[in-house]
Amino acid sequence: MREPGGPFSRDCVRLWAIVALAVTICSGLTGPWTALGADQNQASETVRPEVGNPLQAAQELIKAHKYKQALAKIQEADSAKDKTAYEAYVIERLRGIAAAGAGEVDLAAKSFESTIASGRLSAPDKLKMMEATAELYARAKDYPHAIAWASRYLKEGGTSEEVRRVLIQAYYLSGDCSGAEKELHAELHADESAGRAPPEDRLQLLASCYLQQADKPRYAAALEELVTYYPKQEYWAELIYRIQTKPGFSPRLGLDVYRLKLALGISSSASQFVEMTQLALQAGFPVEAKSIIDRGFALGVLGVGADAERQRRLRELATKSAAQDQKTLGQSEEQAAASAKDGTGLVNTGFAYVVGGQIDKGIDLMEGGIRKGGLKHPDDAKLHLGIAYLRGGQKEQAMQTFKSVQGTDGAADLARLWILYARRAT
């Protein structure tokens, strides 16, 4: 699966957003340099000309996006002797903006920290400055500080979703998957409660956390969430692979894996089309085998290259076998299946009718076979009946049948994937 994206993959865009945010915080710093956000009961504070004049020039340079020149003017103001606490505060506040604009991330973050620590910011401006600080540290890949400031921002009442994403990504990139997972679950739970689809990148990140922790069951569960909301072939292919390679998965379900892939339209190679065809013939479903290999030829996957002749011979075999099966599939075979000691014959005959296009008749036989019992693999029969219902447009019946499939050999896992597919199928 692709490495999940996140806010740090948009550094340039976010940097300018941080600068814009900082500028809004400091937009009130105009002459005569009255303290913004200070206690209104206190007398207004001002700065001396040797500090205020270069700062005024720096602010004009910031407005003109000349950030490096602004930093030089701010340094000129900072060189004044015996600065007051308010003068130091204004200097750091402007230096943070200019440094952010100039791309000097570390300097900007430290200046914002000093501004926050001054105690002079109003509550809203303090939160905005914390947001900018967290994002700056994240951009500098200083993840411990990014985590600290993002956490503090949220703890003090901040509600920016971007900051929460910074926190999650910082946890993840610092190797703290448990921290990232905790925050992700909180975010995803909020989406669920609000009836919103969870963002794709959040689910990607959660899946990646589980993958890094080698937590295969929860990784598969995260993939199931991805295909539920974002049914891309790459997610489906990864999920099916994880199910198929799960310990205890039975090889006899190989054809069923291919049936799901065909339904999903997941691309298959020539060798896979050949294997599917052969498995269908071996399972006693030549009509299905013919439809599979015909599809391979129609897609241009088969009938070309060094193996083209062998593929044509397999197609001829499947076609001949399908024609013979259509001749023998009838009342005599149904009677033989009905007189058998168990329901295996009825189930198989019924499914043969289904893949041959006689779905309603096939479903009746399959239902009878399951009721009769004595099946070696009853969950396989239920899985195939669910597929039959789905092919017949009986979606709700298919869903209920898939839900009844149990066991640990892979049938139940495949049934669950068919449910996810059915929910999206029209």
pLDDT in tens, 20-48: 555 555 544 444 443 333 333 334 688 89
* Mean pLDDT, range 370-396, rounded to an integer: 96
pLDDT band at 331 (very low <50, low <70, confident <90, very high): low
Whether pLDDT at 136 is above 60: yes
Most confident of 36-40, 255-259, 265-269: 255-259
How much is the pLDDT for 401?
A: 98
Higher per-residue pLDDT: 70 or 35:
70
pLDDT band at 170 (very low <50, low <70, confident <90, very high): very high
Q: Which of 144, 131, 115, 421 lies closest to 257 in space, CA to CA? A: 421
pLDDT band at 13 (very low <50, low <70, confident <90, very high): very low
The span from the CA of 159 to the CA of 173, in Å, is: 22
How much is the pLDDT for 286?
A: 96
How much is the pLDDT for 42?
A: 37
How much is the pLDDT for 340?
A: 86
How much is the pLDDT for 44?
A: 67
Q: Which of 214, 205, 170 lies closest to 187 in space, CA to CA? A: 205
Whether pLDDT at 303 is above 90: yes
Token pair recorded at residue 175: 């190797």
pLDDT band at 330 (very low <50, low <70, confident <90, very high): confident
How much is the pLDDT for 78?
A: 95
How much is the pLDDT for 34?
A: 39
* Mean pLDDT, range 71-90, rounded to an integer: 95
Token pair recorded at residue 153: 């921002």
Map the chain to HEC letters. CCCCCCHHHHHHHHHHHHHHHHHHHCCCCCCCCCCCCCCCCCCCCCCCHHHHHHHHHHHHHHHCCCHHHHHHHHHHHHCCCCCCHHHHHHHHHHHHHHHHHHCCHHHHHHHHHHHHHCCCCCHHHHHHHHHHHHHHHHHCCCHHHHHHHHHHHHHCCCCCHHHHHHHHHHHHHCCCHHHHHHHHHHHHHHHHHCCCCCCHHHHHHHHHHHHHCCCHHHHHHHHHHHHHHCCCHHHHHHHHHHHHCCCCCCHHHHHHHHHHHHHHCCCCCHHHHHHHHHHHHHCCCHHHHHHHHHHHHHCCCCCCCCCHHHHHHHHHHHHHHHHHHHHHCCHHHHHHHHHCCCCHHHHHHHHHHHHCCCHHHHHHHHHHHHHHCCCCCHHHHHHHHHHHHHHCCCHHHHHHHHHCCCCCCCHHHHHHHHHHHHHHCC
Instruction: Tell me yes or no: is domain 7-170 CATH 1.25.40.10.
Output: yes
Q: Long-range CB contacts (< 8 A, 24+ apart) of 24-31?
A: 24/128, 25/93, 25/121, 25/125, 25/128, 25/129, 25/132, 26/93, 26/94, 26/97, 29/55, 29/59, 29/90, 29/93, 29/94, 30/59, 31/56
Give the whole-number percent of the chain exceeding pLDDT 70: 89
* Mean pLDDT, range 127-135, rounded to an integer: 92
Token pair recorded at residue 303: 């009938």
* Mean pLDDT, range 409-425, rounded to an integer: 94
Domains of the chain, by residue range, sit at 7-170, 268-324
CB 385, CB 367: distance < 8 Å: yes
How much is the pLDDT for 35?
A: 36
How much is the pLDDT for 31?
A: 45
Min mean pLDDT across 328-337, 391-400, 414-423 is at 328-337
